[in-house]
Amino acid sequence: MEKTTNFFAVDLGATSGRTILGSIEDGKLKQREITRFPNTIIELGGHFYWDLYALYNEIVKGLKVCADEGIELTSIGIDTWGCDFAVFGADGGLLRNPYCYRDPHTEGAMEEYFKLIPKEKVYEKTGIQFMNFNSLFQLATMRRNNDSALSIANKILFIPDALMYMLTGEAVCEYTVLSTSQMLNPRTKTIDTDLIDVIGLKESQFGRYVNPSDQVGTLTPEVQRLTGLGAVPVVAVAGHDTGAAVAAVPAQNPNFAYLSCGTWSLLGIETQEAIINEKSFEYNFTNEGGIEGTTRFLKNICGMWLLERCRKEWTDAPANVNQINEDAMTAEPFRSFINPDDPRFANPTSMVDAIQGFCKETNQPVPETYQQIARCIFESLAMRYRQILDYLRELAPFPIEKLHVIGGGTYNQYLMQMAANSIGIPVVTGPVEGTAIGNIMLQAKASGLVSDMFQMRKIIAESIKLNTYLPQESKAWDEAYQRFINL
């Protein structure tokens, strides 16, 4: 009789986290949510932090549930957002909770760093898009501010690596999450020491290099005691959640683009080699590490963050987000647009005021009701997808025939139809829980249950329901797109 394999996936997003139990039976993926919990940004002393101890505690709680139910785990894998990191002392202790990428201390950080190494040189070395919260600029800011924790840091570990360290005692640097940092050279697949030398850091501070599906270690005796489990292996999956999500794209051929649609929207293609040239520099595209040595050539776009923040302010809107999505369709189409990636939308005191201010400044009708604001957000995102996809078509080494959309944004069927209308090619949605599925499948690969990403994607495609949206109303969308571009 075939032994049941149980993979424990920890999937941490910027607003919430989950632990999922996954297994593969009769060639089909099965999954069950074990726990779900908030991931809260802590504001203190003018800074924004993540609570790493709380996240560790939630992982232990999820593992304890498995032990209490007598579930024998094959392995454990962790994926999280990118860029952020924790610093640990020589005794292994956490020196302070990690800064959140939305912390304002990195405002102007890129310009300060470019005084040390020019912008063009940094891009030529890394191929990573410029965002002020990239790890390189966070570290440079901490150094410039004489950060006391960084001055005595023995290990600097990205969030998934930090949590694996707390579970196993093994300090590693996983390839996909390292690739978000603006410190990885995609040609050598290692940290470019020129970039960190100028801020007084060493390659050895980042742990040993590991790739997706490599085993990191096993649970420490302490974690075994806390959970009631044995020495369960901890596997490096694609530590960066987008890397895990793209691993779960159920594509049948390589001529596709993908959109990971959640708090952030990440739109890109999967290539064999990094694309680093004048055009990719001009458009500020990024080359991040994928599974099996691939490169995720993509661009970050602001996503459902816009709606999430507005919902916190609305007093007259339904609590149910699906109802808000439906109500948005009662508002007049193409009334006003925003640029979702305007810096004012990064972390405003009031997102509603920021959206209304943008429309006023650009001489458009100002959206007043929650229906008008939601429709403005959805249409603007769809337009932005088209703009970025047009750039991708210039740079891609193959024709883009289809857009695969994964993540929670796929629940919004109106946005998905708008995306198809805007970009003019079919949009295929699913899986919703792409990151957790990618995490589970990479553990399955580590266990020898699947051999490569093609087999992984075949199992995923046969295990979930996919929806396809075909373009409609092309003329109206083309005309509206010209208005969007002219903004």
> Any bridge partners for residue 269, and if so which?
257, 297
Radius of gyration of the chain (CA): 22
What is the C-alpha to C-alpha distance for residues 300 and 306, in angstroms, rounded to an integer?
14
**CATH class name, domain 249-430+451-487:** alpha beta
pLDDT over threshold 60, residue 115: yes
Listed in sequence order, the residues at least 6 apart from 389 whose beta carbon sits closer than 8 Å to its beta carbon are 257, 267, 400, 403, 423
* Residue spans per domain, the chain: 7-242, 249-430+451-487
pLDDT tens, position by position, 11-21: 999 889 999 99
pLDDT over threshold 90, residue 433: no
Listed in sequence order, the residues at least 6 apart from 435 whose beta carbon sits closer than 8 Å to its beta carbon are 11, 13, 79, 241, 242, 244, 245, 248, 407
Report the percent of the chain where pLDDT is more than 90. Answer: 94
Residue 263's pLDDT is 87
Contact between 287 and 294 (Cβ < 8 Å): no
**CATH class name, domain 7-242:** alpha beta
Cα dihedral: 217, 223, 225, 227 (round 10) = -110
Where residue 264 falls among pLDDT bands split at 50, 70, 90? Answer: confident
Where residue 262 falls among pLDDT bands split at 50, 70, 90? Answer: confident
pLDDT over threshold 50, residue 152: yes
Average pLDDT over residues 252-278: 93
pLDDT over threshold 50, residue 304: yes
Listed in sequence order, the residues at least 6 apart from 81 whose beta carbon sits closer than 8 Å to its beta carbon are 12, 13, 14, 101, 159, 240, 241
What is the C-alpha to C-alpha distance for residues 268 and 30, in angstroms, rounded to an integer?
28
Average pLDDT over residues 360-374: 98
> Any bridge partners for residue 31, and if so which?
22
What is the C-alpha to C-alpha distance for residues 246 and 294, in angstroms, rounded to an integer?
11
pLDDT over threshold 70, residue 390: yes
Neighbours of 70 (CB within 10 A): 7
Alpha-helical runs (H) found in 286-366: 305-313, 321-328, 351-361
What is the C-alpha to C-alpha distance for residues 289 and 296, in angstroms, rounded to an integer?
6
Distance between first and last Cα of the chain: 63
246-263: b or e for each residue (b if 16 or more CB lie within 10 Å)?
bbbbbbeeeebbbbbbbb
pLDDT tens, position by position, 306-365: 999 999 999 999 999 999 999 999 999 999 999 999 999 998 999 999 999 999 999 999
What is the C-alpha to C-alpha distance for residues 109 and 137, in angstroms, rounded to an integer?
6
What is the C-alpha to C-alpha distance for residues 78 and 76, in angstroms, rounded to an integer?
7
Cα 335 to chain centroid distance, Å, stands at 31
Q: Which of 241, 327, 390, 452 is catalytic?
A: 241
Burial class of residue 475 in the structure, from the number of CB atoms within 10 Å of its CB (0-12 exposed, 13-18 middle, 19+ buried)? exposed
pLDDT over threshold 60, residue 154: yes
Asked if the domains 7-242 and 249-430+451-487 are classified in one and the same CATH topology, the answer is yes
- DSSP at 45: T
Locus of tokens 């949009």 = 427
Where residue 1 falls among pLDDT bands split at 50, 70, 90? Answer: very low
Tokens (6 digits) for 51: 């609570």
> Any bridge partners for residue 468, and if so which?
428
Average pLDDT over residues 79-91: 97
Alpha carbons within 13 A on the beta-carbon side of 167: 35
241 belongs to the catalytic site: yes
Written as one letter, the residue type at 382 is: A
Cα 282 to chain centroid distance, Å, stands at 23
Alpha carbons within 13 A on the beta-carbon side of 7: 29
CA dihedral (119, 124, 126, 128) positive or negative: positive
For the chain, what is the mean pLDDT?
96
Where residue 2 falls among pLDDT bands split at 50, 70, 90? Answer: low
Contact between 71 and 139 (Cβ < 8 Å): no
What is the C-alpha to C-alpha distance for residues 126 and 285, in angstroms, rounded to an integer?
11
What is the C-alpha to C-alpha distance for residues 178 and 343, in angstroms, rounded to an integer?
25
3-state SS track over 103-152? CHHHCCHHHHHCCCCCHHHHHHHHCCCCCCCCHHHHHHHHHHCCCHHHHC
